[in-house]
Amino acid sequence: MTIERTLSIVKPDAVAKNVIGKIYDRFESAGLKVVAAKMKQLSRAEAEGFYAVHAARPFFNDLVNFMISGPVMIQALEGEGAILKNRDLMGATNPKEAAVGTIRADFADSIDANAVHGSDSAENAAIEIAYFFASSEVYSR
Ligand code: IDP
């Protein structure tokens, strides 16, 4: 396994539920380190740009509206196999299909309001981290 970084977002539903700390505990308990973090109210343009790959999908407008419905907590996570490890911690996109004990099974309400985002590849992780953080804002440790 190699040390990787991945981009994670605690989405507006989970921020509103006041479970940022509980979600960070999942990361830390799995050996992932928070190496950058910021709370942010995304603009429509920022959310559209972040999810540009989904622009043609029927759920795109709902997704953008949801992502700007309240502040999000954005973090870069670092650790062995961080990308897949975070995806495993998150669980399936639809919380109804998410494995027991995953973040989405425990904190998400629906496929729209599904608590967390996590990069799905090394290539996307690099793009997504750079979308929100200058390299000087990421503290490898
Ligand atoms: P992921 O977040 O598990 O990587 P993606 O397929 O990349 O899932 O989709 C991005 C986000 O778009 C999902 O987290 C979810 O919030 C939303 N989404 C995906 N598929 C649907 C759908 O069929 N209906 C509504 N929202 C969806």
pLDDT in tens, 89-129: 999 999 999 999 999 999 999 999 999 999 999 999 999 99
ipTM above 0.90, yes or no: yes
> Which atom, in ligand 1's list, is nearest to the CA of 51?
10
Evaluate: CB of 109 within 6 angstroms of ligand 1: no
CB atoms within 10 A of CB 17: 16
Per-residue pLDDT at 141:
77
Q: What is the per-residue pLDDT across 16-52, written as a single tens digit (0 to 9) for each?
A: 999 999 999 999 999 999 999 999 999 999 999 999 9
Ligand 1 touching residue 59 (CB < 6 A):
yes
Q: Does the domain spanning 3-137 belong to CATH 3.30.70.141? A: yes
pTM for the structure as a whole = 0.98
Q: Indicate which residue of 117, 128, 129, 132 is catalytic.
A: 117
Is the dihedral angle over the CA atoms 125, 127, 106, 56 positive or is it negative?
Answer: negative
Catalytic (active site) residue 54: no
Confidence at residue 29, expressed as pLDDT on a 0 to 100 scale: 98
